[in-house]
Amino acid sequence: MKKYTLLSLLALLLCVSGCKTEPDYSDAVYMTGTLTSSNVKFLVEGQSTLGLTVTSTDKTDTDVKVGVQVAPQLLESFNASTGRNCQMPPEGSYSFEGGEVVIPAGQNQSTQIKVTADSEKLQEGVSYCLPVSITSVSNSDLKVMETSRTAYVMLTKVINIKAAYLARRGYFNIPSFGDQEKSPVKALGQMTLEMKVLPVSFPVGSERNANGISSLCGCEENFLFRFGDGAGNPVNKLQFVKGSIGSASHPDKKDHYESWVEKEFPTGHWLHFAAVYDGQYLRLYLDGEQIHFVETKNGGTINLSMAYDGHTWEDTFSIGRSAGNARFFDGYISECRVWNVARTSAQIEDGVCYVDPTSEGLIAYWRFDGETQDDGSVLDMTGHGHNAVPGGTITYVDNQKCPF
């Protein structure tokens, strides 16, 4: 009996190993533009329209009808798989015209389905997603490419904002960060530091008395974003210096993870940068995309409460200056935030223009949107009291659009 049992098992194993399903290379249809990413960005300003089509991997012999419908039931699994917290756009904020498209005979792309949205009915800072999925294919034996069956239309409301213009004459300090007893940023086991800026000019000629450095935010010779380094590198290259992480309290005694963004940046364009530390890896993001990462030697914490020497609060966390009152930035600033959690790429991308001030892990949040307190400071939107105190001359400019 055992003999026959063993023979049966052997036959079963041979069948399993010899009867593997071969890859299916037959022609198929898919939502256009979703082969590399299923996300389709849709910036909504006023009444805005987006066209969606279906593509076949080969030209069709006959007219092929393809059913396409909104699929709200897919949103929960999309959020779970991407780490996002997207919502369906509210009823009445969008229209979906179609339901069926046709790929004409002899072609490989269908007629359009139209998605129209009204920005007045979308909330600022909310991530909206409209899953649009292929539901049927008729008059053809074409299959559906499952990985590209659905286009996740990411609706983002375009907003007009004010921004602070520093003009190499102004800056902001965060005095409460320098309190060595109560500072919430003295020993961050995880951290996200992010900011949105628009350079107007970079130091040239006599303006190079700042060594060609344009400071953005952070702590001098500790954890600082800036353009240029005063050592001959281009003044329009973004540098992250020094990236001090370790078990020691003082930044000088921590390990350093300095890095550059190889791209040289033009003036007149907004960019969003972020540094994310999860306790092991330090990652840098530009406009929501990871551009650099390094594994730390021994982990440790980040101290944003002091610069490398720590002598005065003027050398603690600041925006638009460093090394005392020097190395100023000529440009617009907006949306600076400090977190005690490691934000994901999706969260960073979704929050370029705005985040909920009550978000978990958000230590401080400054919008620089022209709304100031009686003393001229910019309110910390979280309610934690880390207001940004202005120095020098600061003006505010209108009609800055976000996303940019």
Mean pLDDT of 44-66: 97
User: Which of 106-110, 113-117, 128-132, 181-185 is predicted least confidently?
Assistant: 181-185
Q: How many angstroms separate the Cα of 278 from the Cα of each of 188, 242, 245?
A: 10, 17, 11
Q: Is residue 224 within a helix (H) or strand (E), and if so which, with residue range?
A: strand 223-227
Reduced to 3 states (helix: H, G, I; strand: E, B; else coil), residue 173 is strand
Does residue 353 surpass a pLDDT of 80?
yes
Does residue 245 surpass a pLDDT of 50?
yes
Residue 227 banded pLDDT, cuts 50, 70, 90: very high
**CB burial string 252-262: b at 16+ within 10 A, e below:** eebbebebbbe
Q: Is residue 5 within a helix (H) or strand (E), and if so which, with residue range?
A: helix 2-18
Does residue 383 surpass a pLDDT of 70?
yes
Tokens of 264: 């040289």
State residue 173 phi and psi, 5-degree precision. Answer: -115, 155
The span from the CA of 236 to the CA of 98, in Å, is 48
The span from the CA of 324 to the CA of 134, in Å, is 59
Residue 3 banded pLDDT, cuts 50, 70, 90: very low
Give the residue among 231, 199, 204 at the shortest CA–CA distance from 215: 199
Mean pLDDT of 337-365: 95
The pLDDT score that the predictor gives to residue 27 is 92
The span from the CA of 198 to the CA of 185, in Å, is 26
- Domains of the chain, first to last: 28-157 (2.60.40.1740), 161-402 (2.60.120.200)
State residue 39 phi and psi, 5-degree precision. Answer: -85, 130
Chain-centre distance for alpha carbon 12: 50
User: Which of 134-138, 144-148, 228-232, 362-366 is predicted least confidently?
Assistant: 228-232
Residue 206 banded pLDDT, cuts 50, 70, 90: low
- State the Cα angle at 131 between 75 and 137, rounded to 5°: 125
Percent share of the chain, pLDDT over 90: 77
Note the pTM of the prediction, 2 decimals. 0.85
The span from the CA of 216 to the CA of 240, in Å, is 10
Q: How many angstroms separate the Cα of 57 from the Cα of each of 21, 52, 145, 178?
A: 22, 17, 10, 60
Does residue 359 surpass a pLDDT of 90?
yes
The pLDDT score that the predictor gives to residue 261 is 86
Q: How many angstroms separate the Cα of 34 from the Cα of each of 17, 37, 41, 145, 148?
A: 33, 5, 11, 10, 6
Does residue 4 surpass a pLDDT of 90?
no
Does residue 336 surpass a pLDDT of 90?
yes
Mean pLDDT of 75-89: 95
Does residue 400 surpass a pLDDT of 90?
yes
3-state secondary structure 61-116: CCCEEEEEEECHHHHHHHHHHHCCCCECCCCCCEEEECCEEEECCCCCECCCEEEE
Q: Which pairing describes strands 39-44 and 150-157: parallel, antiparallel, or unpaired?
A: parallel
Q: Which pairing describes strands 28-31 and 143-144: parallel, antiparallel, or unpaired?
A: parallel
The span from the CA of 403 to the CA of 156, in Å, is 8
The span from the CA of 257 to the CA of 222, in Å, is 10
Tokens of 48: 């805005």
**Do residues 391 and 169 make contact, with C-beta atoms less than 8 angstroms apart?**
no
Higher pLDDT, residue 24 or 377: 377
The span from the CA of 310 to the CA of 220, in Å, is 10
Does residue 14 surpass a pLDDT of 50?
no
